[in-house]
C-alpha cells in the first residue's frame, strides 16, 4: 500500500471515527437500515454472500482466540462480540501497518487485502453483544462507585456512551475483558499502542496511572441499564 492509499484510507475513515456515541444511531437501527431500506436488492445479496464467506473464515481462523461467537475467554484477547465494524477496520489496518503490536494479529493482518479488512470488519459488526459471564463474586460496590466518578470526570462516557456501548469508530468497552482493558489502557497512555486518532491519548493525559486499573475494573464489570 502506498502512502497515497494510506492517506485516502485516513480521510475516508477519520471523519466518522471520533464522533461521540450519543450522536450516533444505535447499532441495531443502523444494521436494520442497511439491510433493508437503503440498499438495493442486488447489493444486499452481495453483502450477504460476502458475510457468509467471512463468517466461515472467522470460524476457521479467528474463533480459536476470539471465541466462536466473539466472546473470547483467552487471557489478553479482546471480546469482539458487539464491536463496531468501523472500529474493527481501523484496528485491523493498524495491525497490518505494524503500528499496533501483537505478533499473531500482525501476522494475520499482513495477509489481508483491503477487501479482507472490510469483510472481516463487516462480519464483526454483525456479532451481537454478549454479556460477560456472571462473576463468582458481585463486583465491589465501592470500587464501582469510584470508577463511575472517574468515567464521568474524564469524560469517558462522552465518547464511549452512557452504557459504554461505543459506536462507529469508538469501541464498545462495557463488558470487555478486564485484563485486556488494563493492558490496553496502559498501552494507550504510554503510547505503546498508538490510536487511530489522538482521542485516547488526549483523554488519558490527565488520568493518573493508578486510576487506569480502576477504570478497567469498572468498564469490565459494567452492566448496561
Ligand atoms: C492467536 C490468537 C489470535 C487470533 C488467531 C486472532 N486474534 Fe485478533 N487479537 C488477538 C489478541 C491477543 C488481540 C489484542 C492484541 C493487543 O493487545 O493489542 C487481538 C485483537 C484483535 C482486534 C482488535 C480488537 C480491539 O478491541 O481493539 C481485532 C479487530 C481482531 N483481533 C480481529 C481478528 C480477526 C478478524 C482474526 C481472524 C482473521 C483474529 N483477530 C485472529 C489474538 C488473536
Ligand atoms: C474524545 C473521545 C474519547 C474519550 C473522551 C475517551 N475515549 Fe476511549 N476511545 C476513543 C476512540 C476513538 C478509541 C479507539 C482508539 C483508536 O483511535 O485507535 C478509544 C479506545 C478506547 C479503548 C480501547 C478499547 C479496545 O477494545 O481496545 C479503551 C479501553 C478506552 N477507549 C477507554 C476509555 C476510557 C476509560 C476513557 C476515559 C478515561 C476514554 N476511553 C475516553 C474515544 C474516546
pLDDT band at 160 (very low <50, low <70, confident <90, very high): very high
Instruction: Report yes or no on 119 lying in a domain.
Output: yes
What's the start-to-end Cα distance of the chain, in Å? 43
What is the C-alpha separation between 81 and 187, in angstroms, rounded?
A: 22
Same domain, 173 and 212: yes
Same domain, 120 and 214: no
Count of structural domains within the chain: 2
Same domain, 116 and 186: no
Q: Which of 222, 108, 208 is nearest to 100 (CA)?
A: 108
Half-sphere exposure of 122 (CA within 13 A, CB side): 20
What is the C-alpha separation between 222 and 225, in angstroms, rounded?
A: 9
Cα–Cα separations (whole angstroms), residue 119 to 89, 91, 133, 211: 9, 14, 29, 37
Same domain, 91 and 150: no
CATH number, domain with residue 56: 1.10.760.10
Same domain, 72 and 102: yes
Same domain, 45 and 21: yes
Q: Is 96 in the pocket of ligand 2 (CB under 6 A)?
A: no
Instruction: Report yes or no on 98 lying in a domain.
Output: yes
Model pLDDT for residues 82-95, shown as the tens digit of each residue: 999 999 999 999 99
pTM (predicted TM-score): 0.89
Ligand 2 atom nearest residue 150's Cα: 38
Q: Is 215 in the pocket of ligand 2 (CB under 6 A)?
A: yes
pLDDT band at 37 (very low <50, low <70, confident <90, very high): low
What is the C-alpha separation between 78 and 193, in angstroms, rounded?
A: 14
Which range marks the domain in which residue 30 is found?
Answer: 3-126
Same domain, 151 and 116: no
Same domain, 37 and 145: no
Q: Is 121 in the pocket of ligand 1 (CB under 6 A)?
A: no
4 grid coordinates: 497515497
33 grid coordinates: 437500515
Ligand with an atom nearest the CA of residue 195: 2
Model pLDDT for residues 111-155, shown as the tens digit of each residue: 999 999 999 999 999 999 998 888 889 999 999 999 999 999 999
Same domain, 103 and 182: no
Same domain, 41 and 92: yes
Same domain, 12 and 95: yes
Same domain, 12 and 103: yes
Instruction: Report yes or no on 134 lying in a domain.
Output: no
What is the C-alpha separation between 177 and 208, in angstroms, rounded?
A: 21
What is the C-alpha separation between 132 and 222, in angstroms, rounded?
A: 9
pLDDT of residue 33: 40
What is the C-alpha separation between 207 and 80, in angstroms, rounded?
A: 26
What is the C-alpha separation between 220 and 175, in angstroms, rounded?
A: 4
What is the arithmetic mean of pLDDT over 50-64? 97
Task: Give the Å distance between the CA of 170 and the centre of ligand 2.
Answer: 7
pLDDT band at 58 (very low <50, low <70, confident <90, very high): very high
Amino acid at each position: 500500500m502506498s502512502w497515497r492509499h494510506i492517506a485516502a484510507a485516513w480521510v475516508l475513515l477519520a471523519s466518522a471515527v471520533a464522533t461521540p456515541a450519543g450522536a450516533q444511531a444505535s447499532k441495531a437501527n443502523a444494521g436494520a437500515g442497511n439491510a433493508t431500506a437503503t440498499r438495493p436488492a442486488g447489493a444486499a445479496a452481495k453483502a450477504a454472500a460476502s458475510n457468509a464467506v467471512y463468517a466461515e473464515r472467522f470460524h476457521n481462523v479467528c474463533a480459536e482466540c476470539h471465541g466462536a461467537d466473539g466472546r473470547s475467554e483467552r487471557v489478553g484477547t479482546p471480546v469482539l462480540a458487539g464491536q463496531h465494524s468501523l472500529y474493527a477496520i481501523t484496528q485491523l489496518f493498524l495491525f497490518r501497518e505494524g503500528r499496533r503490536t501483537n505478533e499473531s494479529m500482525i501476522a494475520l493482518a499482513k495477509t489481508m487485502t483491503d477487501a479482507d479488512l472490510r469483510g472481516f470488519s463487516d462480519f464483526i459488526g454483525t456479532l451481537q453483544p454478549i454479556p460477560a459471564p456472571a462473576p463468582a463474586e458481585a463486583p465491589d460496590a465501592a470500587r464501582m462507585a469510584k470508577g463511575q466518578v472517574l468515567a464521568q470526570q474524564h469524560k469517558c462516557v462522552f465518547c464511549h456512551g452512557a452504557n459504554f456501548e461505543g459506536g462507529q469508530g469508538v469501541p464498545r468497552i462495557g463488558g470487555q475483558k478486564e485484563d485486556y482493558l488494563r493492558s490496553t489502557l496502559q498501552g494507550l497512555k504510554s503510547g505503546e499502542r498508538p490510536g487511530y486518532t489522538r482521542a485516547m491519548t488526549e483523554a488519558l493525559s490527565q488520568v493518573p496511572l493508578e486510576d487506569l486499573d480502576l477504570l478497567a475494573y469498572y468498564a469490565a464489570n459494567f452492566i448496561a441499564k
